[in-house]
Structure 1
């Protein structure tokens, strides 16, 4: 069962989600061993766009998400969301990791409702919103379960619902399905596309998997080795909705080949 139209509209109204990055440099590491993870980085992401980020391991993909989320400080340049500079974390920029961060001692519904509790919203209202979101992610019958009683895919559904309850303008996802088996992973990808088609929040999705990026994204950004720069910005022309047959389309195969070549070139450049 889907959320009612009013609830979905409420999320959509709060999710314009334009991201602008200008001359962005982010340095990380201990004070005596700082290094640039991102350098002179420029990127614009349109409201409601599904952007996938590819690149070699350690190139700065996760740092990029953390900077947009406000968990990592910008060294130079600026990140702005809807024209307002990012200067720290905010619930309107939700972050989903590969491993869930659910509270093991709380039930599923209480985990999802936690963000509203922190805002001071009453128990009945936050439970109602949490129940609607559990229906949206296909877990209506699991409200009273605990995280340890759920499969990995179900835990990630709860994690996504817990982020969505804050009605984020931007959903930042750091390889959220990387630890799942192939079938569960495809099911989660399809679920995510279904959710996105309803709420149209901006999604920035980091992955190592080229096929996953092509299956999900409107657009793929390929990053260089650290410090990360954009080496390719590719529009994905595949029509929506997408399914397994989409992966056999000539455009899918052509872009996959291009991405493999780019990734190989980036890796070889570092090796040289």
Structure 2
């Protein structure tokens, strides 16, 4: 990658949210899901939204993806108001959204196909992304022939092939077993180190947030709002070895205390030695 490409990479993917409010539902059933939320994310930064169920994490992600309208405030990406979905804002969900009738390669190539990229070029781009996520040799497999972790790798490749400015991830590893989840976290760190795309990552898992993020935005519920922002001090490149450090334990306890202060919800994270927690 030349210096011009690095510069372009570092200048895109900026998020600005100013006093954002989001209402869900209609009529008497409507409620305020997010209230007066303000934060910013720098280009290339990895930020986690951490909080219990019902605190508006996924709702905020949906608004940034362009699938949910805000009721008030300002929500911009690179200085432009979010007004609908766009391929430069890629999103990865907890459960894959792959086309079951298409092979892994054709699933990844679908975005370039919609952009008018020729068949041979889009197949090359798709194969390059599958190689990047460790699926060399699985390009001709269909989703039903892949494990859950492999399906999520294809999903990530399908988003990355569109070269998004911003990668939105809604608990993408939450449905995976503990060891697969750990491998996927390591893979995501490696991909982020290579491309430095801006990532906004939703999780219930304190350890996952501390392992991945530059900064954690802790949210509280009813309605969703920001509780505290935490800068994660661990240097990069980062490995799972940091979970054994005293500073990791201190920050983990602090995050747990913040979440326990939110008495408006019954859903709090369960901590495990490797931090591969689930909501209870």
Q: Report the TM range for the smaller structure's normalisation.
A: over 0.9
TM superposition shift of 1:32: 3.7
- Could you state the TM-score of these two structures normalised by the residue count of structure 1? 0.93
Moved over 4 A (4+): 9-12
TM superposition shift of 1:34: 1.1
Find the counterpart in structure 2 of residue 128 from structure 1: 124
Which of residues 56, 61, 68 in structure 2 aligns to 1:65? 61
Partner SS, residue 154 of structure 1: helix
> Could you tell me whether the CA contact under 8 Å between 1:94 and 1:170 is conserved in 2?
yes
Structure 2 unmatched runs, 5+? 267-280
For residues 26-66 of structure 1, the C-alpha deviation after alignment (integer angstroms, 9 at most, x for no partner) is: 11113441111111111111111100111111111110100
> Could you tell me whether the CA contact under 8 Å between 2:53 and 2:265 is conserved in 1?
no
Please give the alpha-carbon distance, in whole angstroms, between the structure 2 residues aligned to 1:58 and 1:11: 38
Find the counterpart in structure 2 of residue 244 from structure 1: 240
Asked whether 1:155 is paired with 2:151, we answer yes
- Could you state the TM-score of these two structures normalised by the residue count of structure 2? 0.91
For residues 242-272 of structure 1, the C-alpha deviation after alignment (integer angstroms, 9 at most, x for no partner) is: 2221101121111100000000011x2557x
Per the alignment, do residues 262 and 200 of structure 1 end up closer, same or farther by CA in structure 2, a change over 3 Å counting? same
Find the counterpart in structure 1 of residue 106 from structure 2: 110
TM superposition shift of 1:11: 11
Q: How many residues align?
A: 264
Q: RMSD of the TM alignment (CA)?
A: 1.6
Please give the alpha-carbon distance, in whole angstroms, between the structure 2 residues aligned to 1:208 and 1:140: 31
Partner SS, residue 54 of structure 2: coil
Q: Equivalences for 1:28-39 in 2 at 5 Å?
A: 28-39=24-35
Structure 1 unmatched runs, 5+? none
> Could you tell me whether the CA contact under 8 Å between 1:23 and 1:40 is conserved in 2?
yes
> Could you tell me whether the CA contact under 8 Å between 1:53 and 1:223 is conserved in 2?
yes
Give the structure with the higher percent helix.
Answer: 1
Find the counterpart in structure 2 of residue 190 from structure 1: 186
